[in-house]
Amino acid sequence: MNIPRRHVLGAAAAFVAVPAVSTAWGQGSALRFGVGLFQPDREKNDNTYRPLANHLAARLGRPVQLRTVDTWEGLAKSLAAGETDIALLGPWGYVLANQTAGAQVVATILYDGKPEYFAIIVTHPESGLKSAADLIAQGKSRSFAFGDKGSTSGYLIPLHFFMQQGVPDPEKHFAKVLYTKHQAIQTQVTAGQLDAGADYNRNRNAMIEQGLIQAERSRIIWQSAPLPNDAVALNAQLFKDKAFVARVQAALQEVGPLLKTQPQLLPNHYTGFVASDNRFYKPIRDAGLATGKLQPT
C-alpha cells in the first residue's frame, strides 16, 4: 500500500498567515472537539488532549469543548451526524465520515516526523506462532482479537490482509474472534489470554513506554505497508468556511514548533501536523472498497 505523499507535502503549502477572526466562525457557540480513545482510559485521554484543545481555543477565538469518544466507529458517526465539529480520528473512521456525510480532512498528525504508521498483528511467546502464515494455518484452534469495526489498524487493514490470504470470514476461520479496544488486545495477548490480535505500532510503543506491557511479551508477526496517519477533520458545514479552514490549519501548524517549549501539547513521539486532503486517504478508501465495507459512490 503506497501512500500518495505528495498530497500531504503539497498541501503543506496551504498553511498561510490568516486573520485572527473569521467572519463566519470567529464568534459563537463552543466548538465540539472529538478525540478517539488513544490512551488507556477516558480520563487520561482527556488530560492528554486538553492542552491541544486549549491551544485551538486560543488560536480560533472560540471555546473548545473536548470529549473523548471511546470507539472509532462512534467518533465517525458523531462527526457525520454533526454532533462533533472537529475530530482527531483514525483514517478508516475519517473515510467513513467522509463517505456518509462529507466530513473533510484538513491535517494529518505526524509521528516521529512522519505522516504514517503501521498496522500490526501481535502474539505472545508461548503461542508458538512465528508468522501470520502460522496463525492462518492453525486458525481452527486459535483465538484472535480485532479492534472495533471503525478502526483502521484494528479491523479494516488486518481484515483486508486476511482476505488477501484466502480468509474471507475470520469469524468462521478462527476458533474464537472478539472485538475490543486496542489497549485490551495488547493486555490480553501479552497475558496469554489470546493467541493473537490486531494493533498498531504507535499503541504498542506507548504501552511499552508506559510500563503497561513488556516488549518481549508482545511479539509482532505481521506488519502492514505504511498507512496514512490520523486525520484532523471538520464536519461538512464547517468545511464550507475556507477562512475558518485556513485558521485551523495555521493553528495546527504552530503545534510542531511549540512542542519545544510546550511538550504537553501532544503525546510522546507526536511531532506536529501537516496539511493534507482527501486524496491522501485513498489507500484506506481502496481497502474499504476491496473488503466490501465501503460501497462505491
C-alpha cell at 238: 464547517
Which pLDDT does position 77 carry in this prediction?
86
Band (pLDDT 50/70/90 cuts) for residue 240 is: very high
Do residue 152 and residue 68 come from a single domain? no
Which pLDDT does position 10 carry in this prediction?
45
* Whole-prediction pTM: 0.84
Do residue 87 and residue 20 come from a single domain? yes
Do residue 80 and residue 124 come from a single domain? no
Quote the domain boundaries for residue 275: 6-115+228-291
Which pLDDT does position 13 carry in this prediction?
40
Q: Which of 223, 254, 282 is the last residue of a domain?
A: 223
Do residue 31 and residue 95 come from a single domain? yes
Q: Which of 223, 255, 280 is the last residue of a domain?
A: 223
Give the CATH number of the domain where residue 79 resides: 3.40.190.10
Which pLDDT does position 232 carry in this prediction?
98
Q: Which of 223, 240, 275 is the last residue of a domain?
A: 223
| Rounded average pLDDT over 148-173 | 96
Give tens-digit pLDDT for 206-233: 999 999 999 999 999 999 999 999 999 9
297 within domain boundaries: no
The CA distance from 4 to 203, in Å, is 24
Say how many domains are in the chain. 2
Do residue 195 and residue 240 come from a single domain? no
Which pLDDT does position 213 carry in this prediction?
98
Give tens-digit pLDDT for 13-25: 433 333 333 334 4
296 within domain boundaries: no
Which pLDDT does position 1 carry in this prediction?
57
Do residue 168 and residue 45 come from a single domain? no
Do residue 20 and residue 110 come from a single domain? yes
Do residue 27 and residue 165 come from a single domain? no
8, pLDDT greater than 70 = no
Q: Find the range with the poorest average confidence among 48-62, 76-90, 189-203.
A: 76-90
202, pLDDT greater than 70 = yes
Hey, what amino acid is at 24?
A
